[in-house]
Each structure stands twice: as structure tokens, then as C-alpha cells.
Amino acid sequence: MIYTVTLNPSIDYIVQVENFKQGGLNRCIHEDIKEGGKGINVSIVLNNLGIETKALGFIAGFTGREIEDRITKRGIENAFVVAQNGLSRINIKVQGKNETEINGMGPFVSESDFKKLLMLMDSATENDMFIFSGSTPQSTINDMYERLCLKAAEKNIPFVVDTIGSNLLSTLKYKPLFVKPNKKELEDIFNAKIETDEGVIAYGKKLQSFEGGGARNVIISMGKDGAVLLCEDGRIIRKKAPKGRQVNTVGSGDSMVAGFAAGIIMYKDYEKAFSLAVASGSACAFQLGMPTKENILSVLENVK
């Protein structure tokens, strides 16, 4: 079982606009409403690939009930803590020549709410995996990610972290199975401009040796320039981005995370898992919505 933990799920309202005019009236040419949040996206792709998954996290209000209902209808097992204050957020994605996002705030999560989430993790065993991903909700708790990873580490359960900045850095001492920053996020973490593949690799390695801990494996996605995997055995594996027309960026990184986690289970081989990760991320970018197994396998043939 792969448990995904989404701390701040959302309803995503995705609209396509031919020529977006700031301050004026815009009419969309296509619209879609979907359940979102990075971990939920991961669960959707895992489910599409036939990997058993269970979605955990926080929901609140009528939007939270809609998120839960949509996931359940997909056949994905789930268990959410219902926060008592606020609403699950609505995120607006405006797609045109450029992509503009407006993300809602989400509910307020109390210490009591958070302890309920930690209790939901107790059903997992060493044969399972956790994926912690996305932004944190409003709260007075500043160390949610660190406490989630500590819980997984104490239970000796492998875990994955896909978040940014200090939230990511705080988890590295617990040695996550893998982390997946993109190039821009890597630059932000180290306050550096990275202009070469060698620079990407050098800064990626810092995440493997950070303060005596470090991620076991690091995937760095670089958009049209492909991706690189730094393995715990010292191997550096590069993959080119498959050719195709990009129509969507929402969920591509989450699809890559799902692909690598699924590949580890399916192949028990990092390079094969990495190919599936690149195929999953690219398949998502080539269409609207999260990719199906058929979408991913068709792209996998072109991953080099």
C-alpha cells in the first residue's frame, strides 16, 4: 500500500482562455473542475497504474466533502481528518499563452486535528510507503512535515517528500527514499543560479548529504530538458524529455512522483522506475487531466 498524505487538498477550477486580459472580461474556451492537491494527484495516478493506494489528509466544509466524494467515486480508499475551522481551498488555474494560478488558503488545522492524522498513519506497516507532498494549511504548527517524517522513520516505513524550501530541508535528516525538486525549486533552496547540468547534479548531491542525513535518491526535473536521477548507490541517470505538445503543467510533477514510486514496486530497479517517472510526468503534460496507464505506457516507449 502507498499512503499519500495531502495536508491542503483543493478543488481545482481549470479554465483555458485564448487571450487573457488583466482587468478586463475574459471568456473561457474550456473549463474543468477536479479534485486536487499534490498527494491526491499522486493517488490518482497510482490508482490508474494499478498500485494500491490510500489518500490521507485534511478536509473541511462543503468543498472538503466534494473532494472526498470525488476520490471515493474513483475507487480510491481514503481517510481524511475533518478540520473544524475554514474550508478546503479552491484553486483557480488560468491557462493561455501563459499560465496563471490563484490558490486558496485552506482550513485552519489545530494540534488536535494533526494528532488525528498521525493516528491514521498507525495502520501502515514496513511493507508500505508514505508520500508526503504539497503545501501546508493554516496552522500554528510549523513542523508538520518534520513530525510526519519522524513518525514514518520510527515505524521504519520508507517515505517520499515532495515539497519546497524549509519544509523539505527539515525532513532530510530522516533520510527519505526520494525527493523531487525541479530546477527552479533547487535554485530557491540554495539561493543560487544553476546554468549547467553539472550544477544541477552538484546541488542535487547536497540534498543527499544535508546535515549528516540526506535523501537516499534525488530526482530533479528540468522541463523540456528532461530529468536527472541521483541514486543512493552513486549512479547518475539522465533521461531526455519525450517529444510531444505540452498542453498542461498541472500535476506533471505529481505524476512523476507516482511513476517513480510505482516503478520501485513494479520493477525493483531505479533506472526502470525513473523511466516510468519521466513517462508519467510527460504523459500528464501532453493532455488535460491526470494520465491513464495507457497514456503513460505509450509515452514510455519514447523515453531514452
Indicate if the pLDDT at residue 199 is higher than 90.
yes
Q: Any idea what DSSP says for residue 171?
A: T
pLDDT, position 290? 93
pLDDT, position 172? 96
* 61, 63, 68, 70 alpha-carbon torsion, rounded to 10°: 160
Residue type, 190: F
Indicate if the pLDDT at residue 40 is higher than 90.
yes
Helix axes 61-73, 38-48, angle to 10 degrees: 10
Give the burial class of 269: count Cβ atoms within 10 A of its Cβ; 0-12 exposed, 13-18 middle, 19 or more buried.
exposed
Residues in contact with 273: Cβ distance below 8 Å, sequence separation at least 6, in sequence order:
259, 260, 261, 262, 263, 264, 266, 267
Q: Quickly tell me which residue has 535523501 as its cell.
A: 215
Residue type, 52: E
Nearest partner of 27 among 35, 43, 16, judged by Cα? 16
- The mean pLDDT of the chain is 95
pLDDT, position 245? 86
pLDDT, position 289? 85
Confidence of residue 239 (pLDDT cuts 50, 70, 90): very high
pLDDT, position 248? 77
pLDDT, position 247? 80
225 a catalytic residue: no
Confidence of residue 232 (pLDDT cuts 50, 70, 90): very high
State what percent of residues in the chain have pLDDT above 90. Answer: 88
The dihedral of CA 67, 75, 283, 31: what is its sign?
negative
Confidence of residue 97 (pLDDT cuts 50, 70, 90): confident
Lowest mean pLDDT among 97-101, 104-108, 155-159, 239-243: 97-101
Catalytic residue among 128, 162, 254, 269: 254
Separation CA 242–CA 227 (nearest Å): 11
Separation CA 179–CA 181 (nearest Å): 6
Under the phi-then-psi rule, with left for phi > 0, alpha for psi from -120 to 50, and beta for the rest, what region is 223? left
pLDDT, position 246? 84
Q: pLDDT, tens digit, for every residue of 158-180?
A: 999 999 999 999 999 999 999 99
pLDDT, position 208? 96
Q: pLDDT, tens digit, for every residue of 246-302?
A: 887 789 999 999 999 999 999 999 999 999 999 999 999 998 889 999 999 999 999
Q: pLDDT, tens digit, for every residue of 19-32?
A: 888 899 999 999 98
Domains located in the chain, CATH noted: 2-20+28-300 (3.40.1190.20)
Beta bridge partners of 73: none
In this prediction, residues 50-58 reach a mean pLDDT of: 98
pLDDT, position 187? 96
pLDDT, position 95? 83
Q: pLDDT, tens digit, for every residue of 210-225?
A: 877 899 999 999 988 8
pLDDT, position 249? 78
Confidence of residue 50 (pLDDT cuts 50, 70, 90): very high
Separation CA 89–CA 87 (nearest Å): 6
